Amino acid sequence: MRVTWVLVVLLALSAGCWRESAGVRVEFDETLGTAILDLAHSDGVRPLKELAPGDWTTVRVLIGPALGERVAAELGVAEGLEGDGTYRGGYAQDGNLLAFRRGDEVARVVGLGRLAVLGAGEYPADVVLRARDGAITMTDPAGRPVGSR
């Protein structure tokens, strides 16, 4: 009987160890990074939605590295990050991290590696990237600065 209980306890503990992490998954997007870098060098203007299409309503831009607690608080999630460029729930890269949201839900999180040309803040889906002399400003379609810190 004791052996059975020990096995049940061990099985329950091991099942807990093998469960999927609840962290938000980060992926590198080389295509997006290249498009943003090319834009910065071109002195051009492009809507972010054109560079990063999808069903999202806002984007939160962070600049790494960022600890897991900070990332979780800024994204409004219980767990930190996992995946490309992460370490212990945080973002370990020196570049931008873009969290695309659909309402209150995180739809996609993209790391740009060491590329950090976007300003930190939260921006609406119609945000426009305006490049000048290698720097990018985030504006509304009329050219007025937008975003919150």
With b meaning 16 or more CB within 10 Å and e meaning fewer, what string describes 64-80?
bbbbbeebbebbebeeb
- Going by C-alpha positions, the residue among 126, 130, 140, 143 that lies closest to residue 49 is 126
CB 113 within 8 A of CB 95: yes
pLDDT at 145: 92
Share of the chain above pLDDT 90, in %: 60
pLDDT at 2: 52
pLDDT at 77: 85
pLDDT at 21: 44
> What amino acid occupies position 101?
R
pLDDT at 18: 33
Residues in the chain with pLDDT values less than 50: 3-21
| Residue 121: count of CB within 10 angstroms of its CB | 16
pLDDT at 70: 87
pLDDT at 22: 56
- Residues with Cβ within 8 Å of 61's Cβ and at least 6 positions away in sequence, in order, are 96, 97, 98, 99, 118, 119, 120, 121, 122, 123, 138, 147
pLDDT at 52: 97
pLDDT at 37: 95
pLDDT at 74: 87
Q: Return the bridge partners of 47, or none.
A: 128
Tell me the domain boundaries of the chain: 2-139
What's this model's pTM, rounded to 2 decimal places? 0.81
